[in-house]
Structure 1
C-alpha cells in the first residue's frame, strides 16, 4: 500500500510541476519528443565511449545496458576478461540472444585458449622432467635416440618456456650429452676388448682345428717344418696382441698353453725327424750304397731319439722304421674279415660322395656333419683299406676348411652380434620368464647359424648365456617351490569339492550356489598354476572326475530350465498377433517377470532363447509403436488443419458482428474434439479466450452506448426508473447519494485516466477512502460492476449540481477508456 501511495503522490507532484511551467490546456498533449531525444543523446554518448577504448568493466556495462543492439554487440565483441564475460552472459540470457551467443562463444574460445596454454605448460614440465630423469637414469638402452626425441619435442614448445624451465632443460641435456660421450667411450673400449677376445678365440680355434686335423688325418710322408714353425710364431704374436691390457680368463689361457704345447711338441718332433732322415734311410737300406742296414737295436734307439708324439699318426718313414725295429707303429685294431672291410670301404665311399656334393653346394652345416661321419668311418678301416682314400680325405678336408673360412667370414658378424645381444641381455633387469624366453631365442638363432668353428666365440656366447640365465635360475628354483604349493592347493580344492558332493542334497539344492561352486572351483584350479606336470597327473584326473559328478545334476537342472524358457518363448510368439494389444503387452511383461525367476541355464543356450524371446517381445511392442506412430500422424494432420482454420480466425476483432464471433467459437469447439497435440490445444484455448473477450467487449460496447444516452439524458432531466435496467435500483437503494463530481472522479480512478487539477485533492481523498473501505470489506467487485454502479447512481439519485455536462463528459470518457483497456 505504501508503494501505491508513493506512486500517487509522485504523479501528483509531476502534474503540479508541469502546471507551473505551462497553463493547463483543454486537451493535454504528452511530451512525445522527450524520450526519443534522451535515447538519441544516450546512444551518441555510448558510441563515443566505445570509440575511446574503454575498460573491460565499462564494456560489460555497455554490453548489458547499451542503447542499441549494435552498441551492445560491439561492446560484447571487445570483451576479453573472463569474469566480465560471465557477468554479461548471465545478464544477457533471455534478454539479448545475439549478445548472449557472442559472449558464450568468446568464453568458449577463451577457455579453449587457456586449456591449450595449460597443456603446453604441462608439456614443458613433462619434457623437463623427462630430460632430468634421463640424465639421472642408468638405463642406456636407446639413450641417444631418446635424447634426440626430447630435443625435437623441446623445439616445438621452446618459445613458451620461461627462463627457469629453459635453464633446467638445457642443464639436463648437457648432462645427458656428457653421459652419452662416456657411453661412446665405454663402447669403444668394450669393442676393443671384444676384438681382442675375438682374436684370442680365433687363435685357439685355428690351433685346435689344425691339431685335430693332424690327429685325424695325419701328415704326408713328412710334416712341413716351415709351415708348423710359421704357424707357431704367428699365433704367438697374435696371442700377445690379443692379451695386451685386457683380462684373460684362466680357462682361456689354459687352452692356449695346452694347444701351443702340443704344437711345439709336434714341431720339435718334426725337427728331430728331419735331422734324423739320413739315419732312417740308412736303417731302411735306402742309401743306394748296397751296405747292410743296421740291426733292430739301432732302429729302436733312433725311434727313442726322435720321440714322436703318440697322439699324432707317425709318418710313413717312422712306421717303416718301427716295423724294422720289430714293434708296431700303432696298436692294431681288432681283426675283421675282408668282407666287413669291403662293406665299410663302400659306406665310406658313399659318404665321401655326399660330402663332396655338399661342399660343392656350400652347405656348411651338412658338410660338417658329413665330414665327422667320414672321419669316423675312416678310422674304422684298417691301414690297407685306408690307403686308397687317404688323399681324397685330405682333399675334402681342405675344401671344408676353405668353406669353414668363408662360412665363418659370413656368419662371424652375426655371431658376434648374438654375443653382444646376449651380453647386453645379461645386464638387463627383466622378468625372469621373458628373459629366459629371450635367451632361448638367441640360442636358437646361434644354432640356425650352424654354430661356430671359432671356439673362443662360442665360449664367449656360452659365458654370456650363463650369466644372463643366473637370475632366471633363482627364479625357476622359487617357481619350483611355488609349483609344490600350487599342487597342495589343488589337492585342497579336490578335498573340499569331494566333501561338498558327498553332503549335497540335490532334491533341495541351491542351484545358483552349486553353479558358483563349479565356477569357483575351476577358477581357483586355474589360478593354482604353475604345477609340476608329472606330479599333477593324478590330481588332475581326480579333479576332472569330481567336476563330472558336479556337472551331471547341474546339466539336468539347466535342461529343465531351458525347457521352461522355451515354453515362455512359445507363449510369447503366440502373443505377437494377440488382440487386444494392451492385454498382449501386459502378458508379455508378465512373461518377462516369469523369465527372470527361472534358475540356471547354459550360457549359449540361454542366449539363443533370450534372443528369440526378445524378438517376440519386440514384435509385440512394435505394434504399440506403430499405433503411436499412426496417432502421431493423425495429430500432425489435425494440428495442420487447426493451424489453417485458426489462421483465418485470428484476424477477427470487435468490428465483426457478435454472430460471426459466436460462429468462430463454435468452429473452435469442433476443432477441440479432434486429435490435437497439447501445444495446439493450448493455442486453441487461448484463441477461444480471445474470442470470448472480444464478444464480451462487443456486448459491453452495446451497454456503453445505452449508458451514454442515459448519462446525457440525466444532465437535462431525471431518468425514469422504467428506462433504466431493473438491477440498477438495487444498486443504489442501500447507498447514500453520491455527488456527480465524485462519481466522475471515481470513474476516472477506475478507468485509470487523469482528473482535472482542481479535483486532484478530492481524488486523493477518495482513493484513500477506497483503500480503507477495501481493507475492511470482504466483498470484491470488478471494475465493470463498479462503473455500472456509478452510472446507476448518476442516473437514479436525486438531482444535484454535479449532474452537469462537464461531469457527464468526464464520466462518459472514463467509460470509453475502460472499454479500451479490455
Structure 2
C-alpha cells in the first residue's frame, strides 16, 4: 500500500503530521482501555506537543507512575508533578500523599515539596527525600514557603558542611538558622569533645608507653595503676591500633614490675643468706670463744682438749672462709674473729712449746732433777691464765717444794690423778691413760703408808682395766689393720680411678690407719702399708705437682686481685658511682670463687686479706652512698624551696624536671634510705606538677569560657541586622566586647571564630554603609520640595524676571543650608550655561560611579577625571561612600540656575541612579 493510502486509511493518532496526532490525542478517552493504551503510546511520541496532549488526557496518577518507570520525559514529569501537587486533576489528598511516599525520583519530590498545595503533601515529599542528597534538603529548608516543611527539612541536615551552608542561606527563617547554628555548634562541640577525648587517650597511651620504658622506681606500680584507671575511665571505645598499643604498653609495664619483683626476691634471698651466714659465723665464733673460756676455767689442760680445740678451729676456719667467699662479715664480727684466733694461737703456741719438752719434763720429774725442771718450765713459758697440764702442774709443784720434802707426794693431787685415770679409761683414751698409769705407779711408792694402802687397790683395778683396754684394742685393731693393708694394696693396683678419687681414697685409708694408734701394732704390716702408700704417692706425684701449680696460680691470681682492690681503696674516686663499686665488688667475689683451690697454709691469710678488702670496699660503697644521700637531701630541699616559691607553675615544673634528671644522675643512696628519700622527693615533685596541672586546667577553663563568650557574641551579632545608621553603636559595642576577649587561645577553633567574626563585622559594616547611602538618598528625596522651588525660581530668573530667593524651612541646617544659600546667590549672579551643563554632567557621572552604573562612551573623560580627583582627595582622608554621596548631592543642590529642559534631560538618569543607590542588601 502506498504512502497516500496509508495516510488515508490509517488512524489519526498514527498520522505522520504531528498536529494531527496532537488533535487525535486530545479526542481519546483514557477511560477506554484501548484508547488508554493509545494514549500511553502517544505519551512516548517523538514530538513534545503530542506527548503533552496525550499526557493532558490523564487525570489519574497510577498510569503515569507506571509510565515513568519505562519512559521518562519532561512532559511526563511535568504532568505527574501537576497531578501530585494538586494543580491539575481531582485526586484526593490522601491518595496523593500515598503516591508521594512511594516515589523515588528526587527531582520530582523536590518539585512536590516546593509547590504542593498542602502541608501534609509537602511533608511527605520531604520525608521521601534521600538523606544522602543534603543539597535538596537545604533548598527545602531555605526556600520552601511553609515553615513546618522548612523545619522538617532542616532537621534532616546532619553534616557539618550542610549545616554551615544552611546557616549562610537560611535568611528567610530565623528559627531554621538558629536550629542550624545550634546543631552546628553541637556538632562542633561533639567533634571538639571527641578530639579532646582522642587527645587524652593518645596522651595516656604515650605516657603509658614512656612509663613502660622507664626503670623501676618506688611509685612505678602506682603510676601504672593510675594510667590504667584513666584509660578505663574514657567512655568511647579505642581503635584496634590503640588497643594493641595499650596492651603492649601494659605488657611492658607488667614485665618491669615482674622483673623488679623477681629481683627483690633475689635480693631478699641474698639478704636471708647473708643473715644466715652471719648467724652461722656468730654461732661458730661463740662456740670457739666458749671453748677457749672453758679451757681457761678448767683445772688442767689435756691433749684431748687441745685436739678438740684444733678441730673446732679448723671447722670454724673452713666455714668462715666459705661464708666469707659469699658474704663479707661485718667489722665487729671480724674483730671478734681476729681476737679469738689470737687467743687460739697463744694457746696453741704454748701447747707446742710444752709438747716439745714434755718427754724431758717427765724424765726430769721422774729423776727429781729440780734444776732441769726449772729450766724446762722457763723454756715452756706457759701463760699464767692458762690452766696447766697434769705434767706441768706436777713439775711446778716439784719445783716449788722444799728439798727436804721433795720425796713426798701430795695425797690430794694423787687422788685427783687417780680419778683422772678412771675418766680416761671410761673414754677409751688408751695412750693418755697408759702414761698416767705408769706415772702413778712410780709415785705410789712416795706416798705415806696409810695413803699407799688406800690407793693401791684402786690403782690395781685401774691397771687391770687398762690391760683389758689394751687387749680389746689389739683384738679390734688386728683385723682392721689387715683390712686396711688389703684395701691400700688393691688401691695401689687400681689403674682405673682418677687421680682425685685415688687421692681421696688414699687419704681416707691413711687416716683410718693412723686412728688405730699402736693397737695391734705389727712391724711387717706397717712396712707393707707404708710401701703401698709410697707407691700411691709416687703415682700421684705428677698430679699433685700440677695441683700445687694450679693452687699457686690461683694464689697468685687472688693476690693480684687483692692488690688491684687495695690500689682502688688506697686512691678512691670521690665521685665514684656506688652502683659501679657494687659491680666491682660482685665481680671480684665471682673471680675469687673462680680462683680456687689455693695452698692450705696460705689460704687463711689471703682469705682474711680479701675479707678486709671487701669490708673496705663495702665501707667505700656506704660512704659514697651516704654522700649521694646527702646530695639527694639537698635536691629535696631545693624541690621544697621550689614548691614554696612564687614562680610560674610551668617554670617550676621545668626546674623540677631538671632536679629529677640530676636525681637520676646521682646514683643510689643506701638501701632503705633510697626509697624513703625518693618518696619524699617524688611527693614534692608531684605537688609541683599537680599545681601546674591545676593552673593548666584553670587556664583551659578560662580559655573555654573565653571561647564560649566569643561564640555567644558571634551568634548574637550573626542574628542581628542594623536597621539604621544609628545602630552603628551596637556594632562598635560588639567590636569593643570582642577586643576585650582577645587574645583568644591559639587553635583552629579560634582561627575559625576570627574568620567568621571578621566576615560578620564586614557584612554589618557594609550594610551600615548601604544604610547610610540609603538615608542620604532619603534625605535628598525629602528636599524635593525645596529643589522644585529652586527650579521654579531658576526658570523665572532665566525667563527674564528679577531673581528671587527661595525661602527654606528653619529645620534645614548644616551643609544643606549653605548649599541652599549658594543656589540663591548663583541665581542672582548666574554662571555660564555651559558651566552649569558641565557641572550637572559631572555630578551625574560621579553619582553613576558611586552607584556602579554603566556609563556611555561620551562620559569616559569625565569618569577618568573624577577618579583621579577621588584618588588625590583620598590621600589625606578617604571619605565613605555616604559622605561622598552627601557632597555630590549638596553640590547638586547648589548648582544653578538650571534650565528646565536641561533638568528634564538629566533628572531621569539622576533618579535612576538614586533609585539604584536606594536599594538595601537583603537582611
TM-score (norm 1): 0.31
TM-score (norm 2): 0.28
Between the two structures, name the one with larger relative contact order (CA 8 Å, sep ≥ 6).
1
Whose Rg is larger? Answer: 2
